[in-house]
A and B are shown apart, each in its own frame.
Chain A
């Protein structure tokens, strides 16, 4: 085994904990902000694999030819979107205090991606029906009026857009996938803010970037000079079908 005491974050008791019969699933809630928004799903998986190994947690490995840790992520997050509510289920083969799990993982993470909560899950990822996003839009001509026009655009069905999927292109009405939306102009920093609840079920997932694409196509915002026009998107909460916060 490894030289002892080399990682101060590893609690002493880990060495004497007995292995349990079937692995326990632990849910991690984490944020993915700033530079981490550019990291793809595949890279995120790779990163978590290494974080888990570095942390020294008693990871449960699949048996067989090519043993690996079992990682299950919730709703996909596309490149360019930040998040305050990502979920990952991991499996451990020892039972240990949840606080220690959080501490050991955070020692290996950064201030742009870290664990905010660790718990034993009750709900299934498939219970997630909606995600709530916060948009900040900075563009020439941002105004009260522009905010109203944007709201009208997104609340008037149909708003047909081309969606590219693995199996080709298809047209979807994105307005019907917007559960609710608030649009406000903020005079102080000359920005338009949107708060949108979008469908996020496995069969009707709406990529929040689609709203930006709509703004580009219909209002020609964000299609010219990126040094004076920019936006950010943050996923704030995941919700179940009754609009209760998913956990």
Chain B
């Protein structure tokens, strides 16, 4: 370790974030590799180290013997101050080398509020923010992750984006880079063009020209070359059983957000809640088989020594072989003092058998997400659960001695009225009542029902992508209204900051013109905007004013289904016709069955997929 860094670490909080040297990290000889890749997570070490996607892609890239992928996280403000003071640039964990010397820098875009951190990190690395301003030999900046499905607000800063799952795409990008270098025909421009032309899922924003209508909406996207795709189709791993799986994990010394084995059971979701972006962009569902999962779980347990295995996927209880899998796991986990956990549960599939298997002594609390307070509104958002389902599920929990239930809701949903909000309070109270009615409840304890209410954000590639977000005033009025309706002392009410949700909406539905605002935000020192203590709404508004951006145009405008959307350049597999159909169904309060009950023809089956429930697409 560099000596002055070592003394500086004594002056910052949580120095273990920066010291590196973790067991399981991959060290290569930098003089022997042909491409150095800095994989950046634009948030703190504790959050980034817990990200499953990053674990996978770090492993995938390092499988290539001539590529060395290293990890990079955003240093907290106190460390940034020290770095500025002593002229220390942003470095990678493994080698401690400045990332500005790398061949490629990848950012995973997990949430919109991390965009300012992306720019902050480029700035700390000493790199110009805009791709057009970076030198020929400066690293290629790559974006990926869920937010890359609308890459436009950050398009000016990236050389290219990976759309979809990166397990094949990233190594292909490295291979092309190395090949062109070896053959002596590498120029950045040629590389970007060839990547866009030959690698599916690669979007090079500088190769598309955007024009606008007078009313500010987009007129069209025009590719600069005939040989690059008109829309960029996302990549998926079709067979999850044979898809790359990291056998080794970098083990953090300090406590991180998820210190446990994360077992990815399947990708996608059969449901189709109409506000949910993940439920659409990860389609189609592709399961792993229980035998493969069991082996992978053992392997990860042995590689990490963690005492908890979390089955991570969207709506995990929809896994067709959940029972077989948990049975297999329990055969060895108990003996090894390992417990199982499921992060998300659907009330309609929550049973006593399931709970007994996952019963973790540490937690007396269970979490469910009814999302809306009345059946009418749940039908609008296609959350196909009923009040009876919820009450039955909490009963199972209460009978087993649990006394705490956490319920997630959303406010500001399309068509929402005060009655729907009141419904949230009513539902919470009926859960409290259910506790007292349960004869076998834990009589020594009081029930505690926490309702956590977030604000609806219209997200690209959802049936609600066209919907106007409520204004701040409306959202806050609704929060107050709901607060006044909660009189039950056993109910704890928490809600998100509506102002954060509004900025998130602006960034989520933004187009390329937002790059100017983000650049200004970076110049003014914005960072860690996903952290309450760093977020400042008024400063965001002033940045928008300075850069001529009207936030209401992006957040609070009802978009027309005919207009060209910034993210129309991306093809996520699901067709626009399906989204429009779903939008209409929502307005008619009509539900749509899950993919397992009946295929609704969303179009994602054209991407293929093993152990999926889609009808086979005619090629």
Residues of A within 8 A of B (CB): 1-3, 6-7, 34-40, 42-44, 46-47, 49-54, 56, 61, 65-68, 79-80, 108-110, 112, 138, 222, 225-232
Contact = CB atoms under 8 A, between A and B. Distances in A.
Nearest to A68: B337
B21 A54 contact: no
A64 B241 CA distance: 38
Nearest to A61: B337
B10 A80 contact: yes
Given A6-B299, A43-B253, A46-B255, A54 B305 contact: yes
B21 A36 contact: yes
21 contacts: A6-B298, A6-B302, A34-B1, A34-B19, A35-B19, A37-B19, A38-B15, A42-B255, A44-B253, A46-B253, A54-B302, A54-B305, A56-B302, A68-B337, A79-B10, A80-B9, A109-B23, A112-B21, A226-B8, A226-B11, A232-B6
A216 B146 CA distance: 49
Nearest to A109: B23
Given A53-B305, A54-B302, 13 more contacts: A35-B1, A36-B253, A38-B18, A44-B253, A47-B251, A51-B23, A53-B301, A80-B15, A108-B23, A108-B305, A110-B22, A230-B3, A230-B7
Interface bin, chain B: 35 or more
Contact of B361 (A47, A56, A66, A232): A66
B253 A47 contact: yes
B213 to A, nearest CB: 54
A227 B23 contact: no
Interface in B6-37: 6-11, 15-16, 18-23
A225 B87 CA distance: 12
A52 B302 contact: no
A227 B16 contact: no
A59 to B, nearest CB: 9
B86 A226 contact: yes
Contacts of B21: 34-36, 110, 112
B4 A227 contact: yes
Contact of B305 (A3, A50, A80): A50
Contacts of A7: 302
A7 B248 CA distance: 13
Interface string B293-308: 0010011011111110
Contacts of A228: 4
Q: Which of B253, B254, B298, B335 has the most CB of A within 10 A?
A: B253
Task: Among A37, A226, A229, find the residue whose CB has the most chain B CB atoms closer than 10 A.
Answer: A226
A199 B3 CA distance: 28
B77 interface: no
Contacts of B1: 34-35
Nearest to A67: B337
A53 B307 contact: yes
Given A39-B253, A112-B21, A226 B4 contact: yes
A51 B305 contact: yes
Pick the most buried of B82, B251, B361: most chain A CB atoms within 10 A of its CB. Answer: B251
Nearest to A81: B10
Interface in B347-379: 361-362
A35 B20 contact: yes
A65 B295 contact: no
Contacts of A109: 23
A51 B7 CA distance: 28
Nearest to B18: A38
B255 A43 contact: yes
Given A38-B15, A53-B305, A2 B336 contact: yes
B361 A38 contact: no
Contacts of B298: 2-3, 6
B335 A1 contact: yes
A49 B19 contact: no
Nearest to B259: A46
Contacts of B18: 38
Residue of B6, B18, B362 with highest tally of chain A CB at under 10 A: B6
B3 A50 contact: no
Scoring A52, A67, A231 by chain B CB atoms within 10 A of each residue's CB, the highest score goes to A231
B23 A43 contact: no
A232 B2 CA distance: 12
A231 B6 CA distance: 9
Contacts of A51: 23, 305
Chain B CB within 10 Å, residue with most, of A66, A225, A228, A230: A230
Nearest to B12: A38
Nearest to B20: A35
B332 interface: yes
A118 B393 CA distance: 52
Nearest to B17: A38
A35 B10 CA distance: 11
Contacts of A227: 4, 86-87
Nearest to B294: A3
Contacts of B10: 79-80
Contact of A3 (B8, B254, B295): B295
B73 to A, nearest CB: 15
Given A39-B253, A47-B253, A230 B15 contact: no
Nearest to B251: A50
A56 B335 CA distance: 13
Contacts of A44: 253
A40 B362 CA distance: 24
A225 B86 CA distance: 8
A45 to B, nearest CB: 11
Interface string B31-60: 000000000000000000000000000000
Contacts of B307: 49, 53
B559 to A, nearest CB: 48
Contacts of A225: 86
Given A50-B304, A112-B21, A43 B16 contact: yes
Contacts of B259: 46
